[in-house]
Amino acid sequence: MPLYQVLVPIVLALILMGAYVMIGAFIYVQWEGWSIMDAAYFTFVTLTTIGFGDLVRRVAKLNTLEKKNSRQFGFFIVIVILVSGSGFGQA
């Protein structure tokens, strides 16, 4: 069984990591009211699973509309991940 080697440029990996951090930071700025630096720091620490615990999301009581919107957003994210990942690994 032949093994395939996939070479991914480091620049591409860094751009994707930066995009994840910036998207997450933007979401936390909107949801939590944090500064962009705090939100980017929190996103990076969460993505790398370091988890210092110095910044913690507030636990807010969601009303019905927010629950519906968060479910729709979660469904959208799952679809995006499935669609974007479906083409990888094809030879």
What domains sit in the chain, N to C, each tagged with a CATH number? 1-59 (1.10.287.70), 61-91 (no CATH)
Q: Residue 71 to residues 39, 61, 62: CA-CA distances in angstroms?
A: 22, 15, 12
- Residue 24: Cβ within 10 Å count: 17
DSSP designation for 58: -
pTM of the model: 0.57
Q: At what angle do helices 36-47 and 10-32 cross, to 10 degrees?
A: 120
Q: Tens place of pLDDT for every residue, the chain, 91 residues?
A: 678 888 889 999 899 999 999 999 998 898 888 999 999 999 999 888 887 878 777 765 555 556 666 777 778 888 887 777 766 555 5
